[in-house]
Structure 1
Amino acid sequence: MSETTTLKISYIFPNGDKYEGECSRSSDGVVIRKGSGTQTSASGITYTGEWDNDKMNGRGTLTHPSGAIYSGLFRDNMYHDKGTYRFPDGTKYTGNFHNNRLEGEGEFTDSQGLVWTGMFHNKAALGLKLKVNM
């Protein structure tokens, strides 16, 4: 079993993306993102969180220049499992994701602050119920 060394780096990719955080060296000597770090794309998208196998894997937050923010779990660079997506208009979805899509049980808070619960599948949400707080 080989030992892996955690490195802290600041790196600017040829496309202008910037990564600051932890890395390790693979068995063939390639440096890959692993651990915690922040990557900012040239277009202004920022991811801060956990990395594994050179991809967003684990808990993190992805912020878009539009104001949209996803905070939750990632698997292989995609929203996966539990998370919250805040849309630029102030609405938000909290619940399950699968491969970047709303999938399963969740809550959607509309622009009036009303919370709708139910099962979500991609862009469809049949049979949502208004959650009433008493």
Structure 2
Amino acid sequence: MAAEKEKGQATKSKEEGNLKVSYIFPNGDRYEGECSKSTDGIMVRSGKGKHTSATGVTYTGDWHDDKMNGRGTLVHPSGAMYEGDFKDNMYHGTGTYRFPDGTKYCGSFSKNRLEGDGEFTDSQGLVWTGGFHNKSAPGLKLKLNM
């Protein structure tokens, strides 16, 4: 937001130390939410907000230093959705990723990768648990619901 500040359009209202803005970027992206001044005096997304890209990707959640940081939800036009922790614009911490085909992964993420303990629910509704490491998951076990 900072680099494109001069080209976009913004409206603002003061609320609890942060500014509440509605901003349209030159590329068609939109941001509605809170902003604050950085140490350099540049306005950055900070607090709660919603960013919608021109391609239809929507993030609603926490912002810090003009990046997705904290809890939030990222929804893709394909139907894919991630809900959970973000750090520096990446899935990082715990969360749930739902794929367009209905499958989902709930568990740990590290820098946009499946990393650590989690559960994967396949397209038949079977739940697999175990340790996930990027694209591999050695030793997965089928969770039986009795």
Give the TM-score normalised by structure 2.
Answer: 0.88
2:71/2:84 contact within 8 Å kept: yes
- RMSD over aligned Cα, in angstroms? 1.0
SS in 1 for 2:33: strand
Which of 27, 32, 37 is the matching residue for 2:49? 37
The letter for the 2-side match of 1:7 is L
How far did 1:76 drift?
0.1
Matched, 1:22 2:34: yes
Alignment of 1:19-98 (within 5 A): 19-98=31-110
How far did 1:133 drift?
1.6
Gaps of 5+ in 2: 1-15
Name 2:113's counterpart in structure 1.
101
Q: Supply the distance in 2 between the matched residues of 1:13 and 1:113 (Cα, whole angstroms).
A: 41
Q: Runs of at least 4 residues of structure 1 off by over 2 A?
A: none
How far did 1:11 drift?
0.4
How far did 1:29 drift?
1.8
1:24/1:31 contact within 8 Å kept: yes
How far did 1:28 drift?
2.4
Aligned residues: 131
2:38/2:65 contact within 8 Å kept: no
SS in 2 for 1:119: strand
SS in 1 for 2:60: strand
Q: Supply the distance in 2 between the matched residues of 1:44 and 1:26 (Cα, whole angstroms).
A: 28
Give the TM-score normalised by structure 1.
Answer: 0.95
Q: Supply the distance in 2 between the matched residues of 1:98 and 1:27 (Cα, whole angstroms).
A: 28
